[in-house]
Chains A and B, each alone.
Chain A
Amino acid sequence: MSDPSPAPRADEPAGARVDLLAALKEAAIAAAVAFGLFALLIGVRTEQGPSGALVIATRFGPLAAFVAAAFAGRFIFAVTRHRFTIPAVLFASPAVKRTAAAVSPYLAAVLLIFALVVPVVFYGNRYLLDLAILIVTYIMLGFGLNIVVGLAGLLDLGYVAFYAVGAYSYALIAQDFGLSFWVCLPLAGILAAFTGLLLGFPVLRLRGDYLAIVTLGFGEIIRLVLLNWQNLTGGPNGISGIPRPSFFGLPFTASESGFAAAFGLHYSPTHRIVFLYYVILALALLTNWVTLRLRGLPIGRAWEALREDEIACRALGINTTTTKLTAFAMGAMFGGFAGAFFATRQGFISPESFTFTESALVLAIVVLGGMGSQLGVALAATIMLGGFEVFRQFDQYRMLVFGAAMVAIVIYRPRGLVSTRKASVSLRRRRNIPTDTVDRTQSLGPA
């Protein structure tokens, strides 16, 4: 395995001569690029002339400043580059890797305990509790999509469709038949799973980019159906007044028969939030448990084998049709659960909540977390959604910071935050194997 960091070792003689000429050349190129970029952006602008018409005004001063800054910056970078070991220290140095290896076995347990006590610690902070619910919802969606994308290797850009199906199933069943949340939840999951099968059949032959396009289209189809099927879904107006969950029959209201009264507590709207938090946490943990279980079973191994090499799977007598369909259906089912939860939490749903952005966000969580890694998904969802909130104060620079963070991840951790996978079975001690030692550049050739 080659060390990804190009930076020289710290123990290398620091006196390595700096090539000034090369640095100047580099700086000149950077300045030329900056000039090309900014000549029109900064150097020229249109202003309102005396007669009201637009006139072109030149601003050579600021332009020169930008170009000079690019020149100087690049020059300083080129001269001092050999000292730049910060990224290497952060991401690839042996010390960091050792620490990560030492911490990682406990990380999941610590995170779980933290997740369990969140409502206790932040009981008074409604904003944080809402954020926690949002994060866990996305963790659950990430777990669900992880089955399809991370394990089975089927790139699905329309995952939000199942989320939507789950949400609308819950809303409609709960409203029209008056069934409780706990009855509707499995129904929503089953309906979403069937939607997954429905999507699965036409795309059985597709892989990679083609599959991504079709699933993207499927997500949009579902959204458009929801938008236009006025008399069932309410169209763009959505569905409001969706029944709120009750604590096993006790509603979270201030009335005599409510949850607070039954337990002799003072009524507080936070009770319901805490309850919702534990519901979604339980659902996410269930998803996690099932996924981990399935990974150790033939079906899970077949999913992973499918991701690695579909042709070899068929040569070994694995029915790739049912394998793919079960992956789609399982992933969709958990998406449907999350959707049902979303509907009961919001009390109102409309097609606007199920746009492509949601699919992209969940996919980003899975990819960022490390495909197939449950812990990675949980970390990525927390970092991404938490990051959105933390950087909210930076206002317009938020997306800039976010983009920079994504670029850094792609450069330094191309296989995601957690780039190891645990073998599902082993002769000796089970251990994590790094996924980046593996050469995946096998050619297709005549099969």
Chain B
Amino acid sequence: MSAPPVLRVEHLTMRFGGLTAVSDLSFDAGERKITALIGPNGAGKTTLFNCITGFYKPTVGRLQLAHTDGETFLLERLQEFRIAKDARVARTFQNVRLFAGMTLLENLIVAQHNKLMAASGFTVLGLVGSPSYARTEASAIDKARYWLDRVGLTDRADDPAGALPYGAQRRLELARAMCTDPVLLCLDEPAAGLNNRESEELNGFLRALRDEHGISILLIEHDMGVVMEISDHIVVLDYGIKIADGTPDEVRNNAGVIAAYLGVSDEAALAAEAKRM
């Protein structure tokens, strides 16, 4: 990889009591690249996401995030809201988490909270109706409108988010994450529950994010069609351990990966293990 990594995961271990969900995991996620995390259920993918986004504090290890201007953040030391606010890591959730009772537009405006909060002079200026706040709010609405347009939901901007069909909710969550101006976007199974056409559109959208907006994407996905088609780099986890790391082609032909997914007899697994070493 030529560009420096946007995220460097080093010797990350996460234990819950006696259970080791992620064990001594190290990998890099490239700048302006789509990195996919795959692995069978319970492999520790979502745990890793929660460590990166600060919802869990890793037991051991380091998570270093670099901005293009050279500023670096050690994510394991930041509070979760600072990871989104300062380190600019955005995420979506496996089971969509929208502000269901608020409109689509409001969802996207809430995502720009920190910018607006500062502009409203921590509420004081906003309360008296200062013009500078009004300008910032107008620009926030413009940005929300842009992303609503990008995900094709402009028509429903003033409907409550909870009334959207499932696929649209996923798109809205993605748009909301983008409204935070992320450097790294973490997507937890973005294609889950989408039909073929929708997941095709998702592929195009994620590529556009990478190519037009310079976003680095880290995604968990079970849909191999999506993963193989759009990923630049794939990391395979099984029982919290990294079993493969490479381009889609390398991973596709890795015996250990095939064993983890399809299951093999013990001898074959051992043989595959030996070959990999």
Residues of A within 8 A of B (CB): 290, 293-294, 297-299, 301-302, 304-305, 307-309, 311-320, 326, 421, 423-431, 433, 435, 437-440, 442-443, 445-447
Contacts and interface: CB of A to CB of B under 8 A. Distances in A.
A316 B185 CA distance: 12
B105 A425 contact: yes
Interface string B151-166: 0001001111011000
Contacts of A311: 55, 93, 97
Interface stretch (B77-85, B207-215, B221-229): B77-85
B106 to A, nearest CB: 6
Given A315-B90, A428-B158, A293 B127 contact: yes
Nearest to A437: B163
Contacts of A320: 81
A114 B91 CA distance: 50
Contacts of B180: 316-317
Nearest to A421: B101
Interface in B30-54: 46, 50, 53-54
A312 B98 contact: yes
B84 to A, nearest CB: 3
Interface centre among A308, A316, A433, A437 (most CB of B within 10 A): A316
26 contacts: A294-B123, A297-B127, A298-B126, A299-B123, A304-B102, A308-B99, A308-B101, A309-B98, A311-B93, A312-B93, A312-B97, A314-B80, A315-B84, A316-B113, A317-B81, A318-B110, A320-B81, A423-B106, A423-B158, A424-B106, A438-B160, A439-B162, A440-B162, A442-B95, A443-B95, A446-B50
Interface in B160-193: 160, 162-163, 176-177, 180
B94 interface: yes
A319 B177 CA distance: 16
Contacts of A438: 100-101, 160, 162-163
A385 B36 CA distance: 60
B118 to A, nearest CB: 9
A297 B102 contact: no
Contacts of A447: 50, 55, 93
B127 A425 contact: no
Contacts of A437: 160, 162-163
A297 B126 contact: yes
A293 B127 CA distance: 6
Interface residues of B, number: 50
Given A298-B126, A423-B106, A427-B158, A315 B53 contact: yes
B80 A315 contact: yes
A325 to B, nearest CB: 13
B120 to A, nearest CB: 6
B111 interface: yes
B145 interface: yes
B63 interface: no
Contacts of A293: 126-127
Nearest to A424: B106
B236 interface: no
Contacts of A305: 99, 102, 110, 113
